Amino acid sequence: MIHPTAIIDPAARLGRDVSVGAYAVIGPQVEIGDNTEISNHVTIMGPTLIGRDNLFYSTCSIGQDPQDKKFKRGETQSRLEIGDNNTFREFVTINRGSEAGGGITRLGNNNWIMANCHIAHDCQVGRNTVFAVGAIIAGHVTIGDFVTLGGFTAIHQFCSVGEYTITGGQTLIAQDVPPYVVANGNRVRLFGVNKVGLERNGLTPDEVSEIQKAYKIIFRSKLPQKEALARVGSELGGSPRAMRLVEFIQTSTRGICR
């Protein structure tokens, strides 16, 4: 299961049935869960914790130092944590966290990260996401569950993208993108509710309808934002999905794209 040309530090810990391909390099303070496959020429540095059933295609670079001028080599609070059942295609790069940004870059379970994607330091990526080819996210970005980033989407540092959102190819995001929407363009604009994605991921027709009603009030009614959010609360206060949209907008620190 371990190719003779692979270089594995004695301090690394590999679970059961982990395979390591030719010329792969695994550094110290790396822990890899069971049934994970590491292809040829993959580099994994630590401190990095990787769950089980992950697949790293050739030439991935995982757990390297943050690309942040404030980062100092040897920072004790600099980690990468990856969950279970993720796929990382060729030339994916993921950096560890930095002390200034909380210390941890984290990815959940069941993510599909295509070739040439970059996930920078201190990012928080949920579960069941898809990063199409060339999608890149800068430091301190938060990506919600079930998000799909179109090819070559680029996200500015400190932005958040809410759950169940989909972006078009070559989208440039410099403000927060709310949950449940279709977002596209440079600079990004909203193009309605991601109805197909919501249905595919198991939301009920009632939930989808409530989200659509909330979206129309917030983005199509021409009410001032504060009044629009208050109206959603009064008309759809019993809908957790609608109120999640309100909560996301109220807590945004970078402003919401329109």
- In this predicted model, what pLDDT tens digit does every residue of 117-152 receive, in sequence order? 999 999 999 999 999 999 999 999 999 999 999 999
75 closest CA partner among 42, 121, 33: 121
- The per-residue pLDDT for range 217-251, each reduced to its tens digit, is 999 999 999 999 999 999 999 999 999 999 999 99
Tell me, what's the pLDDT at 122? 97
Domain with CATH 2.160.10.10 in the chain: 7-140
* Residue 111 CA, distance from chain mean position: 8
Contact 182, 192 (CB under 8 A): yes
Matching CATH number, 199-250, of 1.20.200.10, 2.40.340.10, 3.40.50.970, 1.20.1180.10: 1.20.1180.10
* CATH number for the segment(s) 7-140: 2.160.10.10
Where, residue-wise, is CATH 1.20.1180.10 in the chain? 199-250
For the full predicted model, state whether its pTM sits above 0.85.
yes
- Residue 252 CA to residue 258 CA, distance in Å, equals 13
Q: 31-38 long-range contacts, Cβ below 8 Å, gap at least 24?
A: 33/84
Mean pLDDT of the region 14-26: 98
* Listed residue (232, 227, 230, 226) closest to 212, CA to CA: 232
Q: Which residues are catalytic?
A: 121-122, 139
